[in-house]
Amino acid sequence: MYVVVNAAQSVDGKLSTRRREQLRISGEEDFDRVDRIRAAADAVLVGVGTVLADDPHLTLDEEARRVERLRNGRPGDPARVVVDSTGRTPTDARILDDAATTYLLVSAAATPERREELSDAGAEVIVAGEERVDLREATDALEDAGVGRLMVEGGGEVIYSCFAAGIVDELQVYVGSLVVGGRDAPTLADGEGFIEAFPRLDLTGIERLDDGVVLSYDVGERS
Ligand SMILES: NC(=O)C1=CN([C@@H]2O[C@H](COP(=O)(O)OP(=O)(O)OC[C@H]3O[C@@H](n4cnc5c(N)ncnc54)[C@H](O)[C@@H]3O)[C@@H](O)[C@H]2O)C=CC1
Ligand SMILES: Nc1nc(O)c(N)c(N[C@@H]2O[C@H](COP(=O)(O)O)[C@@H](O)[C@H]2O)n1
């Protein structure tokens, strides 16, 4: 499976405010770029923290759906995926509507009753891991379900875990021209943080979009 992480951050590395409210960092040109990455993916993944904060839909806008998906011979929207150990995704979340398939990656910590409720709400529930979701096992299961290219949209906890699991091939970061600040505001990579063997990146592109810049990287070995 090929995994591309995309996120928008302030110049000080924040994905949103300390209140974890959705923050518009990208401009129109960047949202078009995000749509193109979504369109090229078989599935778009976020953490349950993002679902609870933003209630995202994770579908394509009409233009991207028409141009990109049909061009790739794959009409419709990519599947949606939530990393959600205990199954906290609300059953009325927008991500569980019938616009596209939605996989909920839970761990053994999600009770059978909760798994059934989520399944009744339309989710394809995949169990991987004991406490937290085991991302390697979960992405293997997604690959078995036909996901060859996965886009990870955040948030900071899940992006860190994807790097820690060694499953990221490519990173694209839009750096918007604003400062958010706040020691408790989510950043591009939260979690425990690395203290050795840091993921090393090869800078492959710099592009000015709107009033910000897109930085593109291939992900190398940890060292
Ligand atoms: N600017 C941007 O591009 C984006 C911003 N955001 C923002 O990020 C914030 C949400 O980010 P976070 O709070 O970091 O939540 P998150 O979306 O990264 O979800 C983290 C949660 O997922 C669950 N989880 C289960 N297994 C896990 C594992 N193996 N690794 C990590 N998490 C696991 C845990 O409950 C954990 O608390 C919101 O404020 C949202 O607006 C989110 C996506 C993109
Ligand atoms: N690329 C990007 N730029 C921003 O400024 C953002 N705030 C985000 N947030 C992400 O987009 C999701 C919303 O998706 P829908 O519009 O509901 O499809 C949100 O949940 C974050 O993952 N991204």
Mean pLDDT across the chain:
95
Closest ligand 2 atom to 30 CA: 1
How confident is the model over 74-97, as a mean pLDDT?
94
Confidence band, pLDDT 50/70/90 cuts, at residue 61: confident
Confidence band, pLDDT 50/70/90 cuts, at residue 43: very high
Return left, alpha or beta for 33; rule: phi > 0 is left, psi -120 to 50 is alpha, else beta. Answer: alpha
Q: Which range has the worst mean pLDDT, 18-22, 65-69, 83-87, 111-115?
A: 65-69
- Pairing type for strands 124-127 and 212-222 reads unpaired
The one-letter amino acid code at 162 reads C
| E-strand stretches of the chain | 2-9, 43-47, 79-83, 102-106, 124-127, 149-154, 170-175, 199-209, 212-222
Residue with the nearest Cα to atom 19 of ligand 2? 56
Closest ligand 1 atom to 161 CA: 30
Q: Is the pLDDT of residue 119 over 70?
A: yes
User: What is the complex's ipTM, to 2 decimals?
Assistant: 0.98
What pLDDT was estimated at residue 71? 61
- CATH number of the 2-222 domain: 3.40.430.10
Distance (Å, whole) CA 121 – CA 92: 8
Q: What residue ranges do the domains of the chain occupy?
A: 2-222
Please give the structure tokens belonging to residue 180. 């958010």
50, 60, 151, best to mutate for ligand 2 pocket (most atoms within 8 Å of CB): 50
